[in-house]
């Protein structure tokens, strides 16, 4: 994964149908030195990503229309190798994540509420130690997803 701008900042897309969450996370990450862009639905983010792919996609799982997992899979199928962090406060997200894993896609899952400082540290670590992430063959990983906690409100 290469930084998106001359300053070396990662381009981060944040997708959540709750505008306050997307806008708040984008503001926090922008103040933390990243180039963050909020989107309020997966379709908007997908159209933008086809034109200008992110380095990191942070998306809610459970949204009307296209879910965050469907968005992540669409990006992988289009050949985009961005890091993908899914987040959710709903138990149904785990079922969708397990289904994606059975189909050969491996994504990280964070639990809402997100703690902004933990997210900033994780993204700074990604910036220092980039590693392209692509689809994982179904037989490689059945381990439970990594989770986090914090103070961005749960949906």
Q: What is the pLDDT of residue 131?
A: 54
- What CA–CA distances, in Å, run from 121 to 99, 100, 124? 29, 27, 5
Summarize the confidence of residues 55-60 as an average pLDDT: 95
Is 24 within a domain?
A: yes
Band of pLDDT at residue 2, cut at 50, 70 and 90: very low
pLDDT per position as a tens digit, 86-104: 988 766 677 777 888 888 8
Tokens at 86, concatenated: 């899914």
Q: What is the pLDDT of residue 39?
A: 98
> Which residues make beta-bridge pairs with 57?
13, 84
Look at 91 and 23; give whichever has higher pLDDT: 23
- What CA–CA distances, in Å, run from 17 to 21, 110, 122, 135, 143? 8, 16, 23, 25, 28
pLDDT at 5 over 50: no
Total domains present in the chain:
1
Is 59 within a domain?
A: yes
Indicate the pTM of the whole model: 0.73
Respond yes or no on whether the N-terminal peptide bond of residue 113 is cis (omega within 30° of 0): yes
pLDDT per position as a tens digit, 69-90: 999 999 999 999 899 999 887 6
Is 57 within a domain?
A: yes
Band of pLDDT at residue 8, cut at 50, 70 and 90: low
Report yes or no: 13 and 57 within 8 Å, Cβ to Cβ: yes
Indicate which CATH number applies to the domain containing 41: 3.40.50.2300
Is 32 within a domain?
A: yes
- What CA–CA distances, in Å, run from 137 to 49, 76, 133? 24, 13, 12
| Mean pLDDT rounded to a whole number for the chain | 79
Is 21 within a domain?
A: yes
> Residue 76: which domain range?
11-128
Cα gap 73→76, rounded to integer Å: 5
């Amino acid at each position: 994964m290469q930084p998106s701008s001359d300053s070396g900042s990662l381009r981060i897309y944040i997708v959540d149908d709750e505008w306050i969450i997307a806008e708040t996370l984008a503001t926090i990450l922008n103040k933390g030195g990243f180039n963050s862009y909020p989107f309020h639905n997966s379709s908007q983010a997908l159209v933008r990503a086809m034109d200008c792919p992110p380095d990191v996609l942070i998306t809610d799982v459970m949204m009307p229309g296209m879910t965050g997992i469907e968005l992540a899979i669409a990006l992988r199928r289009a050949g985009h190798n961005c890091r993908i962090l899914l987040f959710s406060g709903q138990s149904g997200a785990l079922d969708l994540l397990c289904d994606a894993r059975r189909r050969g896609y491996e994504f990280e899952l964070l639990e809402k509420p997100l703690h902004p400082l933990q997210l900033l540290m994780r993204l700074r670590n990604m910036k220092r130690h980039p590693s392209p992430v692509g689809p994982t063959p179904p037989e490689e990983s059945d381990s439970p997803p990594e989770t986090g906690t914090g103070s961005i409100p749960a949906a």
